[in-house]
Amino acid sequence: MKFVELKQSLKGQVQNVYIIYGQDRFLQDKSINLIKQFAVDSFVEMNESIYNDENLNVQQMLEEAQTLPFMSKFRFILIRDCFNKMLESDKKMILDYLKKPVKTTVFVMCDDEKNDFFKKCENSGAPVDCNYLDEKTLESLVPAMCSAEGKQITANAMHKLIEYCARDLGRINNEIKKLACYCEDAVIKPEDVDINVAKTLDYETYRLANAICQRDYGTAMKLFEYIMQEKGSTQYLIGALGNFMRRYFYLQATKQDKDLCLNTFKIGEYPYKMMIKESGVLKKNELMNSLNEILLVDYKIKSGRQTDENALYSLITHLTRNL
């Protein structure tokens, strides 16, 4: 189930096992707290056990899972962020427990991705998808989050906020709180977002892709240097540039068909509006050549034929001159 469906499902019946996964830590925390809120109705400290990479003891954890709760409907067990290093023998013990979980315990497993172990567990519990929310869902949440801080937000400002924060709800929440402090007006406008919101590396890479498409070599190199100073790795930048060029190619290949771009190729509403301005001057064969060049540079770096920074410098120079 998606995070937005979790609260309604908990009103019906709390499951004995939940498997939470996805990149959005804010949604993970919200999901964990919601489940605990519905599961433990009193003496929380005596009915809660949390295990992570630092204190993992699977034998002890499973013994606690089989202990009756103290004056509460359920005992709550959380195991989080330790599955990659977990011993196979420990995983087997958990899988054996999941075959017949204790009815008075809510057992929650949480990680940033749906790893192989989670896939083995998913038939034994209720999965909760905490990946970044789609733009449409965020558009329904952001105004309510602003309202809670005593502010309203324009549609353009909201789209900028979502894009600058790369759809990360935790970042969006923090930036709304900051905007509420810095904006004197009751309504948050696009210029407020521009001035006050910290842009993610994803957004700066979008600006780099735009500068390349405009053949603006000076701006492209400044953005490249900034991204690398902000700890943008070589592989991140190559992957991100490839992703943006692929989006531009989809815009061209579909003749800017909005429905195909948004629903089939998963280009967000705001990126679509921004990128469509540049895509008209680009050609499909040039974009395909740029994607091939990005793959070639990736190969050269991984095979040791070029150093990381020199390869990226050459790539941006080539793309700026040949798009």
Residues 296 and 317 in one domain: yes
Angle of helix 201-213 versus helix 269-279 axis, rounded to 10: 20
When pLDDT is cut at 50, 70 and 90, the band that residue 211 belongs to is confident
Residues 180 and 288 in one domain: no
pLDDT tens digit string along 240-278?
A: 888 888 888 888 888 778 888 877 877 776 677 767 766
- Would you state the pLDDT for residue 116? 86
Residues 160 and 103 in one domain: no
Q: Domain containing 167 — which CATH number?
A: 1.10.8.60
Residues 179 and 157 in one domain: yes
Q: Domain containing 231 — which CATH number?
A: 1.20.272.10
- Tokens 């091939």 belong to 292
pLDDT tens digit string along 270-315?
A: 677 767 766 666 777 888 888 888 888 888 888 887 777 788 888 8
Roughly how many angstroms between the first and final C-alpha of the chain, as a whole number?
43
Residues 43 and 113 in one domain: yes
> What is the count of structural domains for the chain?
3
- Residue, of 230 and 245, whose pLDDT is higher: 245
Secondary structure of residue 316 in the 3-state scheme: helix
Query: Which residue range forms the structural domain that includes residue 226?
Result: 201-322
- Would you state the pLDDT for residue 15? 95
pLDDT tens digit string along 18-28?
A: 999 998 999 99
SS3 content of the chain, % helix, strand, coil (to 5): 60, 10, 30
pLDDT tens digit string along 115-143?
A: 889 988 988 999 999 998 988 899 999 99
Provide the sign of the torsion angle of the four alpha carbons 122, 126, 131, 134, taken in this order: positive
- Average pLDDT estimate for 102-114: 94
Question: What gap in Å lies between CA 162 and CA 139, rounded to an integer?
Answer: 9
DSSP class of residue 2?
Answer: B
Residues 39 and 151 in one domain: no
Residues 6+ apart with CB under 8 A from 170: 24, 25, 26, 27
Measured at the CA of 265, the angle between CA 263 and CA 267, to 5 degrees, comes to 80
- Would you state the pLDDT for residue 251? 84
Residues 212 and 296 in one domain: yes
Asked whether residue 13 carries a pLDDT value surpassing 70, the answer given is yes
Q: Assess contact for 119 and 151: CB atoms under 8 A.
A: no
- Average pLDDT estimate for 82-106: 94
| Whole-number percent of the chain with pLDDT over 90 | 45
- Would you state the pLDDT for residue 4? 85
